[in-house]
Amino acid sequence: MARHSSDDGDTDFDGARLEEAPLLPTTTTSVEDKELEAERRRLRLTVIVIAAVVLFLLELGIGVSTPAMNSIMEKIICRQVHPEIAVGVPHGSPVPDKCKDTAVQGYLVMLRGWTATFESIPGFLGSVAYGIVSDKWGRKPVLSLAIFGLNLNWIATYAIFIFSDIVPLWWIWFAQLLMLVGGGGMVATAMLYTILADVVPVEDRSTVFFQVSATFLASQTMSAPLSGYLMLYGDWLPLLVGLALLIIGNILIFLLPETVHLHRKQKQGRRGLARQEDDDSTESELAEVEDPKVSLFHEIREKARGGLAEVGQFILGNKNIVFLMLSMVFVVLGRLAQEFLLQYATKRYHWSWSEASFMMTITGVTSMVTLLGLLPAASWFCVSYLGLPGTVKDLWLARLSGIIMILGCLIIASARDGRVLSLGLVFWAMGSGLAALIRAILNALVEEHHTGILNSLIGFTETVGVMVAAPVLASSLRKGIQLGGGWIGLPFFIAALFATVVTAVAWTYRVPRRARQGSLEP
């Protein structure tokens, strides 16, 4: 199943909220500002800890459950395609060889590909609406509703598994639409970062977001071996553990302080400052902070209309940046191939789903070492010894990460045994910083008041990329299974092609002179 998460910590419903502090401090600080900052400081540690734990539980629950879901779906399909074979779903029994044939694996990959597409729809449709709702009714209700929607989706999926003799398996596509209640994982993750933005000052947000995002890497590293171990005792145990983790995460939300009042106070403070600086400000503009007479539907419609106009102006005025931003689509396409890595390994190397899960630990560990160790060290070297400005440094690191990712994809696609696959996974994971580096470059190039629009556009392109790429990569794996032999690595050859496009964009892109601060252009 596709993960709805933000591994770089830039997800936010109202990106402008991340840049709300003035660039230059005022000479005097009002009593209200002092009280606001004191309250934010009082809530900060509690919010950061609980948000990190909830994010960790969400990602761990998804990671633990995914291999088991794949295994159960494979057995159900095998039982339907080969009714003469008794395949026990509840007990994690060894899968007969016929369950690895073209008919079973082809249907499974098609099912999973379209599931990823349907899984993206709730967040795509509901992100803006739930963001506005959170401003009016609070962060906690929306976050809790999003996780509740995830629970509904999982329970419905489990019910379809149990009653698969009378219910078509493809009904799991419609089970994903239950996440319209709350917006699913995409809204849940974005809301967690919105809550953090409410209590953390602008100058400290990047550090806090990075620290919280490290919990995502930790959950990835832990979920693979944990899932593999639990599957030794049956396919249903990981599913129940994953559901329990989601329920615990929802319960922890009750301990999370509500923070929307901090956002409102800060917004009122900015409006008051604007009134002092501009005598032409009208009372109607000040009332825009919170007008109970304005209906929720009207507010959503007006915000969407204004947002579209602003996005259009941004695109027309920043064509050079948009060119680099579009490469993020291909980054998502390449990363999405990882969703099919488990099935690829079980089919090509005749592994069990449990064995394949253990192998995926390599990806999590290497990604963690890369993002927390190798990239920071390389960044320090480029700045301290090579004297590269920040944006130029990030561009060079993105270029190198792209090359490493291409090598990883090609090695995985052509790996004839598990040892070569392990090497490919290491290279692939070492290129995992590509998306974060490109995002950092983009955020450094735009003016501060455009950062929110930029991150919204990046999120939009990533979501569209998932919705389109999942069926494409699924079809390529299905075709590779049908052709047999080395063709089974077709999706990873395609992923290498996607990574090549991103890398080519990075190598042809030139940092604007104003951002290079007098340095030589790479």
Please, which residues have CB within 8 angstroms of residue 514's CB and are 6 or more apart in sequence? Answer: none
The Cα–Cα gap between 12 and 65 comes to 26
- Specify the pLDDT at position 375: 86
DSSP per position, 233-253: T-SHHHHHHHHHHHHHHHHHG
Grouping H, G, I as helix, E, B as strand and the rest as coil, residue 496 is helix
- Euclidean distance between CA atoms 53 and 513, whole angstroms: 42
Cα-based torsion angle of the residue sequence 221, 223, 227, 230 in order, rounded to the nearest 10 degrees? 100
pTM over 0.85: no
Give residue 289's pLDDT.
46
pLDDT of residue 168: 93
pLDDT for position 407: 95
Joined together, the tokens standing for residue 259 give: 């923070």
Please report the pLDDT score of residue 206 as a whole number: 61
Q: Which pLDDT tens digits describe the chain residue by residue (522 residues)?
A: 545 444 444 444 444 444 444 444 444 456 666 776 777 788 888 888 998 898 899 889 998 998 899 889 988 998 888 887 765 544 445 567 778 888 888 888 889 888 888 988 888 887 777 877 787 788 888 888 988 999 999 999 999 999 988 999 999 999 999 999 988 887 888 788 788 878 877 667 666 776 777 787 788 888 888 988 898 888 899 999 999 998 998 899 888 888 877 766 665 555 454 455 455 444 444 444 445 545 656 666 666 666 556 556 656 556 677 777 777 777 776 667 777 888 899 888 888 888 888 888 888 888 888 888 888 888 889 888 888 887 888 889 999 999 999 999 999 999 998 899 999 999 998 988 888 788 778 777 766 555 556 666 777 777 777 787 788 888 888 889 888 888 999 989 988 998 898 899 889 888 776 555 544 344
The tokens of 131 are what? 């963001």
What domains sit in the chain, N to C, each tagged with a CATH number?
1-23+34-272+295-300 (1.20.1250.20), 313-512 (1.20.1250.20)
What 3-state class would DSSP assign to 408?
Answer: helix
Rounded distance between C-alpha atoms, residue 213 and residue 193, angstroms: 10
Report how far residue 79's alpha carbon sits from residue 299's, in angstroms, rounded to the nearest whole number: 51
pLDDT at 278: 52
Contacts of 138 (CB under 8 A, 6+ apart): 258, 260
Task: Look at residue 442 in the predicted model and tell me its pLDDT.
Answer: 78
